[in-house]
A = this chain, B = another copy of it.
Amino acid sequence: MADSYETVVYSLSPNCGLGEVEEGLIYAGTVQGFANFGTFVQLNARLKGLVHKSNILQEHEERDQIFVRVINIRNNGNIDLAEVIPKVFRLETVTKAFKVTKLAEIGKQVGRSVTLETKVAQIKQTSGPTIFTLVDESGSGNAAAFIEAGVRAYPEVELGNAVLVTGEVMRRQNQLQIEVSSMQVLSGDEGQAVHTRIEEALDARAEPEDIPLLVESEVMTALRPELRKVAKLIRRAVLEAQPIILRHHADADGICAAVAVEQAVISLMREEGDDLDTAYYLFKRSPSKAPFYEIEDITRDLDFALKDHERFGQKLPLIVLMDNGSTEEDIPSMKMARVYGLPMIVVDHHHPDAIVDEYLIAHANPYHVGGDFGITAGMLGAEVARLIYPGISDRIRHLPAVAGVGDRSEAPERQRFLDLVSEDYSEDECKDIALALDYEQFWLRFNDGRELVKDILNLKDDPALQKRLVSLLVEEANAAIEEQMAASMPHVTEEILPNGANLFRIDVEIFAHRFTFPPPGKTSGEIHDRLCRQHPGEPVVTLGFGPDFAVLRSRGVMMNIPRMVRELRDEITGGGINGGGHLVVGSIKFVEGMRKAALDGLVEKIGQAPTETPRT
C-alpha cells in the first residue's frame, strides 16, 4: 500500500488508449512541443494532451520529462492537463492486457491494430518513414514508423533489439506492412525471453525439408549432413534479413553453383515478402578474379558492408564461397572476415587444406567424405539450392550436368546428371552451354551479368532465346579459339623428357593474342587437348608460360604439382616461386628475372615423375 505522504504518478504503457486515462490522476509525460497557447505533452506514443500556458509551472525543453494532472478529457478526445511538481512520488505503470500476434498471422488482421513481440533485423531510413524489418518465430515483416520525412523514428531502437511493437496492419495485394504507433525496447528478462523464443523458432524454421538427391550418389549422400547445414545457415540468414555475399569461381562450374543458390535464395526471399529490389540488395553474387578469395575482394566486400551497416543499419553479411575457398590461399581473407566476426561458408570441390575449417561455420567438400573434384561445385550447389528452396528443383535440374561437363568431371555422377536431363539437353548441348558461360563471363569481366546468365541457362523459361544465345556465343567462342590456336600452335616446341613424357612448351604471352578470349590458362588447355589428340597413348605435359607464370596441363604423368612448387621454392633462391592447384593441373608463379631457372627446375622435376599409359 502506498505511503500516504507519497503522490502516485502513473506511467502509461505504449498499448494504452484513451480508455486507460483517468481524470484527476497524475501521469508522467514528455514535452513534445510548444504552441503560443501552451505545451503539448505526450503521455505515451498514442496519447497527447495540452497544458495551457496558465497551467505551466516551470520552463521546459523538448523531450523533458513532465508530470501532469488530467483535468479534463473532452468529448473529441482532447486531454487538458495541468503541470504538477510532486515532492515525493511513486511511479506505477498502467498497462492494458493485449494479445501478441505473430508476424505470419498479421495477414488475418488487415486493418486492425496488433501488438507483436519481435527482434529487429534491419533499420532502414528512407526519405520518408523509417522501415524496421522485424522477425519473430513465425516469419518476418516490415514495419513503417514515420516521424518526419527522412528522420529516424525511435532512435533508441537498435539492430538486434527485442521490441514490443503496436501498429495497424495494412495490406494490399501481396504486401503487408505494419504502420507503427508505438515501439518499445524489451530489456532484462522480458527481452531475454523473447530473444530465446525467437531464436529457437528461427532455428526450427531454418531447418531444410528432407528431400531426396536429384541422382544417386554415394559421395553426395555422405555429404548430405553438411549440405543441409549449409542450406540451413543460408535459410537462417534469409529469415533474419542478413545480407549474403556469394563469391564464386568465374567459370561454368562456379557460375552454375552460384546461380542455383541465387535462384533459391531469391525465391525464398520473395516468399518471405521481399520485393525484387530488396532481394537483390540483400543478395549479391560476385564472380572472383582469382581462383581464391583475394584480399582485394574481402577488402571491397568489407568496405561496402561496413558503409551499409553505418548508413542503412544493415547487418554485417554472411559470406558464401563456391567453387573456391578451400585452400590456404584463402586464409588471409578469412582472417580479415574473422576480425569483423563475419560468418563464412565454403562449398567447394578443390582439394581442401584442413586449416581453412578454423575460419568456417560450414564447409561442404567431397574430399571430406572420400570423394574428389569429380563431384563439382555445380552439383553441390544445385543440391544446396534445393534444400534452401525445394520449389526451385525443376528450374535448375540441368545445372549440375552443365557444371559436370564444364569441369570435365570423371565421376559417375556426371553421366547420371546428364541422363536426368537427356530429354531436354544432349551432352553436346550441355558442353555448349558451359562454353557459352565461360565466353560470356570473360566479356562480363567480373560483373554478374545476371539476366544474360539466366538467359544462357534458360532460367526464365524462354528456350528459343537460350538456343539463339548459346548458339551465337559458342560460334564466337570457337572462332576466337581457332584464331588463338592459329597464332600459337606453330610456336609450340617439343622435347622428350627422361621419363619418356612429351613436353610441349609455348610462350602464351608472346605467341598468343592478349587481353582477349581465350585467356592464357584456357589457351594452354586448348593447346594441350590438341596435342593429346595428336599423341594418343603417350604421356603428355603442356607448359604454357608467360613472363612470370606458367600453366601446367598433363596426361599420364603422375606429378604432384603442389609438392614440386614447394621444392622449387626451397631450391631456387630469389625465385619468388609460388603456386599450386590440383595434383596434375596447376600453375606456378615466379619473378620475371628468374623465369629460366624456374622453368628449367620445373621441367627437370616433370622429367622425374612416373608416367603411365593414359586413357585417350
Contact = CB atoms under 8 A, between A and B. Distances in A.
A463 interface: no
A452 B548 contact: no
Contact of A307 (B302, B444, B451): B451
A449 B310 CA distance: 13
Interface string A524-552: 00000000000000000000000110000
Contacts of A150: 175, 275
A149 interface: yes
A599 interface: no
A225 interface: no
Given A148-B172, A148-B173, A335-B476, A513 B591 contact: yes
Contacts of A512: 576, 591
A311 B469 CA distance: 22
Contacts of A455: 306
B127 A148 contact: no
Contacts of A452: 299, 302-303, 306
B33 A110 contact: yes
A19 interface: no
Interface in A379-397: none
Interface stretch (A77-85, A249-257, A481-489): A481-489
A506 to B, nearest CB: 10
A388 B128 CA distance: 32
B511 A465 contact: no
Contact of A489 (B151, B472, B548, B574): B574
A299 B110 contact: no
A279 B594 CA distance: 51
A336 interface: yes
A491 interface: yes
Interface string A497-528: 00000000001011111100000000000000
Contacts of A310: 276, 451
A593 interface: yes
A573 interface: yes
A87 interface: no
B149 A299 contact: no
A192 interface: no
A593 B339 contact: no
Contacts of A513: 548, 576, 578, 589, 591
B173 A147 contact: yes
A149 B128 contact: yes
Given A35-B111, A303-B451, A576-B486, A469 B339 contact: yes
A166 interface: no
Contacts of A299: 440, 443-444, 449, 452
A612 interface: no
Given A35-B111, A339-B472, A487-B575, A172 B151 contact: yes
Given A276-B311, A299-B452, A591-B512, A332 B476 contact: yes
B488 A574 contact: yes
Contact of A33 (B171, B309, B445): B171
A456 to B, nearest CB: 11
Interface string A108-136: 00111000000000000011100000000
Given A487-B576, A591-B510, A472 B296 contact: no
Contacts of A173: 147-148, 151-152, 155
Interface string A455-496: 100000000010011001000100000011011111100000
A612 to B, nearest CB: 32
A547 B593 CA distance: 13
B443 A295 contact: yes
Nearest to A332: B476
Nearest to A309: B451
A302 to B, nearest CB: 6
A335 B35 CA distance: 55
A424 interface: no
A447 B155 CA distance: 30
Contacts of A335: 472, 476
A592 interface: yes
A214 interface: no
Nearest to A509: B592
Contact of A487 (B510, B514, B591): B591
9 contacts: A127-B128, A276-B310, A277-B311, A295-B443, A303-B451, A309-B451, A483-B576, A511-B592, A512-B576
Please list the 10 inter-chain residue pairs (A to B) with the smallest Cβ-Cβ separation, ordered nearest first. Answer: A490-B574, A487-B576, A306-B451, A510-B593, A510-B592, A299-B443, A511-B593, A148-B172, A339-B468, A303-B449
Interface of A: 33-36, 62, 110-112, 126-128, 147-152, 155, 170-173, 175, 177, 275-277, 295-296, 299-300, 302-303, 306-307, 309-311, 332, 335-336, 339-340, 440, 443-445, 447, 449-452, 455, 465, 468-469, 472, 476, 483-484, 486-491, 507, 509-514, 547-548, 573-576, 578, 589, 591-594
Given A62-B171, A513-B578, 12 more contacts: A34-B110, A62-B110, A127-B127, A148-B170, A148-B172, A150-B175, A151-B173, A151-B275, A295-B476, A306-B452, A339-B465, A513-B591
